[in-house]
A and B are shown apart, each in its own frame.
Chain A
Amino acid sequence: MAIRKVCGIETEYGIVVRGADNNPVSASSLLINAYVNATSRKIGWDFEDESPANDARGFNLDDVFPPEIESSLVNAVLPNGARYYVDHAHPEISLPEVADALEAVRWDRAADEIVRSSMTYANEILGAGAEMVVYKNNSDGKGNSYGCHENYLMSRDTPFGRIASHITPHFVTRQVFCGAGKVGCEEPNRRPGDVAYQLSQRADFFEEEIGLETTLKRPIVNTRDEPHCDPQKYRRLHVIVGDANLSEVATYLKVGTSLIVLAMIEDDQLGDEVLLANPVAAIRQVSHDPTLTRTIMLRDGRRATALEIQWALFERARKYEQTHGLDAVGADVSVDVLDRWERVLSGLETDPSSMGHCVDWVAKQRLVEGFRDRHGLPADSPRLKAIDLQYHDLRLDRGLAARVGLETIVDPRDVLAATTQPPTTTRAYFRGRCLQKFPDDIVAANWDSLVFDVGRDPLRRVPMMEPLRGTADHVGSLIDDCDTAAELLDRLGQ
């Protein structure tokens, strides 16, 4: 049976400073430091167990540069169990580990609120005459992209080759409901005007089917093998192909459908029926077709639309629910994901424009085309590109996504609570609770351990190699009962 899934999202945000130094690294540092200083005692990230250059295929490529770890940049762990840091030249938040798609939406929205607060604090520091603005998007429209990565816990027993080949059709076609929309084209060797409007921010940037890279020659399936947990039992599928979503429903479906498809792959319930002949060409073809009518080539020579491939995956998922159940992927939530998946496919099939309340690319397209028609603008007008960028602007008084009537599925009070509270369902609970209760005794944290300094040498590292241990059920009352970190360590047998 598929293992119980844990997942997370890491979002790199776009950042701009007007009226002051626009260096993205210092701006990102200012943003994060402003938040951390205003809200909590800063606890650093521990890099001991980072190994982003390991390849899931079990070999190393000599011509691939291993991803770098920039340990000198700002790096903090938040009381909700998230990591907030400067990655390359962007502020990034990695959500605490969550156990289902609804929790992913809740903590993803909390991350947006953390960034909004950070903007406020940073702008107080910048003072009058300067302003910092953060964007939740994945492209600057000039050929530069930055990621919104997903992570899914998988069994080490599942052959990586099967994961890669069977998840690819989903990654290529799920953009029909989770693409964030883009004005223009950034595909290498094509002109921006070659495509007026497309589904995805990211599709133009994918050049390989499979590989270790994340910044150059990006692959549809990333092979980074860095599980951040027991490597004998687990792998972490690191997904770099998605867009950051402003629509809660889109995030919900992006994560929820992927969880179900990955569980099916673990149980070997996806056959070769919808394997693609050329995934790299297909991901762009699908993105470049807002009519959703063009077909892509399957490996067996047939052709199918992205929607037909999604229907095929959906039908298998329905069958899987009946034969295997959905306990591995959060049964209650995943049953709802199936219903919404069906509704969004039906809606897109009937009339894509009817899905503007939940699909980002549809909501944005309505603005772009409505504005174009109202002002009689040419397709290459910078004002249309400005609408595209401003859709993702996280300022409440400027951001367009906040105005288009997107359906919400998480109570704003729950979002607010998630800015400071960890999920109760994963080891993030242990991390977050300890950071809240014993901030003076923790010197460093990372995904799979906490390092305590309780005044007794040496420092104590508490390993957390099981992502589903350290939950509220598991350690909630223990943490409640302990008045000091030393007592907690004693009772944990440390």
Chain B
Amino acid sequence: MSIPSQKTCPGVPYKASRAPAAVLCPFRAYYAFFVRISDKGGLFINSGKKLVIALCVLAVLVSGAFFAYRHLTPKVAEGTKTITVSVRHADGQLRTFKITTAAEYLSGALEQEKLIEGTEGQYGLFVTSVDGEAVDSSKQQWWGYTKSGAYVDTGVDKTVISDGDSYEFSLHAGQ
């Protein structure tokens, strides 16, 4: 087997490795870059004026984040609302429920009707059973849901409900 040239990665000595040199080169060069910069003391910013400007920029960023949270987070609707929940079972049977509730989140409305069961996990409530049909983990089954046919990117305990909403639950298998 021929030994690769030492010029395969400029500035970094050749060392036999199982990984291809083309993969290792960028990482070695990246590490060597920081070693060189930091060994020379790095960049230097110590001007009071620049620090005050940076502090002001940070304050603006914090305010911006707070503003985004206040105005972009879905608002909780107070009072009684009526929603429609359809459940498509594994055998194709479709059952529809009209729920009148004062709950703010979808999980509250479903638990009120005893329609779901689940376990609390790292990412909130993980639904394990809907309308009496439990998932079979050996078949990698899971309950998914949409709102008026559109994908919902929050769990049932984070989904804010409004009057007239329509949700569809269906059993999926696999990833």
Do chains A and B interact in one complex? Answer: no
